[in-house]
Amino acid sequence: MYEIIADNREAASNLPALLKELGLNVRFEQLAVGDYILSDEIAIERKTINDFISSLFDGRLFRQVSDLTSVYRQPVLLVEGDITIIPSLVNNVKVYYGALASLTINFPIKLIFVPSLNESAIFIERLVYNLNKEQRPHNIVKEKGQSIREQQLNLMASLPGVGEKLAEKLLKHFGTPIKAFNASQTALAEVIGYAKAQKVKQLLESKFEEQIENEKNQSKLM
């Protein structure tokens, strides 16, 4: 079960319960920015359509988005509700789209509109699923005639959460796979982020026999 973090204020809504029904473990914390934290790079600011409109015009939204983008590399603004009512909520639709355009141009944020609470839950669950799907270790394919460079990339890409792009980034930074493997967690974090570095070091430094025993114990509990 994948775990995400929700702001304490979200406990008053039905969304956390819907997320749990979809198989996510929701842990509540008091968050400085954002409403849902999916990873060290992805966070979601959730708003109803009415709050989205009012915060867009009074300036709150721009401050919130600015804070979110300063902390997370892939922030998401999730707007929930019927967008067809927008013309009835604003005096001038042109001004609304002007503010929306300014938000889009000035901030590296993904703006997602969903019609209801249920669709918010489905979107977040699919986002978490695809996020973890991308972070699953890649299979190392040893094809005949592969160059050493290709084998090095495959080797690094097999690490949890790394993939092809970060594999190349690691090799360029450390020079060789062995130097990357021997690097400290802090040094790795400078290249791939803290969460991924922690997973990589756990994989590389965990004793094989202990993991066999852990897996046996876990299977007994299931």
Among residues 84, 106, 134, which one ends one of the domains? 134
| Residue 110 falls inside a structural domain | yes
Instruction: Based on the fold, state whether residues 7 and 54 are members of the same structural domain.
Output: yes
Q: Tell whether 140 is covered by a domain.
A: no
The residue-averaged pLDDT of 156-168 equals 86
Domain count, the chain: 2
Whether residue 143 is contained in a domain is answered as no
124 pLDDT tier (thresholds 50, 70, 90)? very high
Is 16 in the same domain as 99? Answer: yes
Alpha carbon 102 to chain centroid, angstroms: 24
Give dist(CA 124, CA 19) in Å, integer: 8
98 with 63, same domain?
Answer: yes
What pLDDT score was predicted for residue 134? 59
Separation CA 141–CA 138 (nearest Å): 9
Whether 139 maps to a domain, the answer reads no
CATH number at residue 166: 1.10.150.20
pLDDT surpasses 50 at 37: yes
Do both 126 and 84 map to the same domain?
A: yes
Pair (59, 35) in one structural domain: yes
Task: Give the CA diameter of the chain.
Answer: 68
- Expressed as residue numbers, the domain containing 126 is 3-134
And the tokens for 194?
Answer: 């803290």
To the nearest whole number, what is the mean pLDDT of the chain? 87
pLDDT class for 141, splitting at 50, 70, 90? very low
> Three-state DSSP class for 19?
helix
| Strand, helix or coil for residue 25 | strand
**Same domain assignment for residues 98 and 195:** no
Domain boundary among 100, 134, 168: 134
List Cβ neighbours of 2 (8 Å cut-off, separation of 6 or more).
23, 24, 25, 128, 129, 132
Instruction: Quote the distance between the C-alpha of residue 166 and its chain's center.
Output: 16
Same domain, 70 and 130: yes
pTM: 0.60
Same domain, 192 and 91: no
Q: Is residue 203 part of a domain?
A: yes
